[in-house]
Structure 1
Amino acid sequence: MTVNRNRCRPISGPVFHHTTFATLKLDEMVEFYKKVAGLEPVFHGKGGAWLTNDAANHRIALLALPDLIPPENKGHTSGLHHTAFEYDDFEAWVDHYERLAIEGIEPFMGLDHGMTMSMYYQDPEGNGVEIQVDNFADWRSSKEYMRTSQDFSDNPIGEYFDPVKVVAARADGLSHAEVHRRAMAGTYRPEAIPEVHLPELW
């Protein structure tokens, strides 16, 4: 039978639903995602946990599979780099950083990508977790920025920032727009530029 491949393509793509991680540290992972991404377990058993922070049945699945082995040089191998979560507004995003910092949970990297300001954490397995805020407060505009901006084309990684300096700027009364402008100008650059590679935890 001859198949018309054009007709086989879906009319619309599916919506992203969840990410699944195999883990040797199930309980630690559940607690981490509770604190960092507000994910509560819908089910948490001996062999796995399924967590969500919205109406979906789960957004992160954690499987404690038998016979797992620790990864080697995880931060420098191909595969998933990070999973991202987004705040709707700048104030909540900065508050979240401060709340985690009090508990000793610090990002290993801060980047202003142009369309988002993002802080990158690591879960207990060494997977990256991005907590971001959209600089345009509108996906349509931030998508257009990525599509058409020469600045983004020239430097899609963006500018590094020190979260402590961003917190200080917010405390001084600077707006999200002004903090973003200064971050992109390098005003909040950290003393030591971190690696984009995930830090090796294993």
Structure 2
Amino acid sequence: MKQFYIDFLGAQTELETDMICFLRYDDEHHRVAIVGLPNLRSRDRSTAGLEHIAFTYNTVEDLFKSYHQRKALGMKPIWCVNHGPTLSIYWADPDGNQIETQVDVFDSPEEASTLMRTSDFAQNPFGVDFVVEEFEKRMAAGEPLKDLLKRPSIGPRGPETIPLLNF
């Protein structure tokens, strides 16, 4: 687990003992604490718990750069989706905890709220899947980023179609 987060976040170990490890990736003393307690069982995906944590990038280019860096380390995303308010790439750590890396699509929260109040969003609050490499090809071909970020309408989408529930 420790190595996953070192690789995923570009973190360094601040302190490590037999029981606990503190990781940091910026000026904060730690951002992640990993604790190994005796007699823990493996996580059952059908139980309640943490759904995901999210990290926001400043630009689509930064998001995609991190995607390629992680893929080069052998990590595979579990879902790439245009939610509408965000363009998101989801990952899973070795315990199955989900990590969302995202970029905001709109310049203001009000614009995102406007989208979220539409009937299209109500029919499909999950989003539309995308392939990073195809998105990058369209960007390189000169398609305006604003057009690429606009979430297409695909009609109703239920939770049974969400890769996060089936990885």
TM-score norm. by structure 2 comes to 0.80
Task: Give % identity.
Answer: 28
Q: Deviations over 1:137-183 (max 9, x none)?
A: 44x345534664443333221111122322322333334322212x5
Give the drift of 1:134. Answer: 0.7
Q: Distance in 1 between matches of 2:15 and 2:21?
A: 5
Structure 2 runs not aligned, ≥5 long? 155-160
1:36 counterpart SS class:
helix
- Are the equivalent residues in 2 in contact too, given 1:35–1:100 (CA < 8 A)? yes
Partner of 1:158: 127
Q: Deviations over 1:8-35 (max 9, x none)?
A: xxxxxxxxxxxxxxxxxxxxx2222222
Structure 1 runs not aligned, ≥5 long? 1-28, 187-192
Question: 2:143 pairs with 160, 174, 183, which one?
Answer: 174
Give the drift of 1:101. Answer: 1.7
1:184 counterpart SS class:
coil
- Are the equivalent residues in 2 in contact too, given 1:41–1:49 (CA < 8 A)? yes
Report the number of matched residues: 161
Q: Distance in 1 between matches of 2:140 and 2:18?
A: 44
- Are the equivalent residues in 2 in contact too, given 1:81–1:198 (CA < 8 A)? no
Change (3 A) 1:147 1:31: same
Question: 1:109 pairs with 74, 79, 84, which one?
Answer: 79
TM-score norm. by structure 1 comes to 0.68
Partner of 1:5: none
Question: 1:144 pairs with 107, 113, 120, which one?
Answer: 113
Partner of 1:79: 49
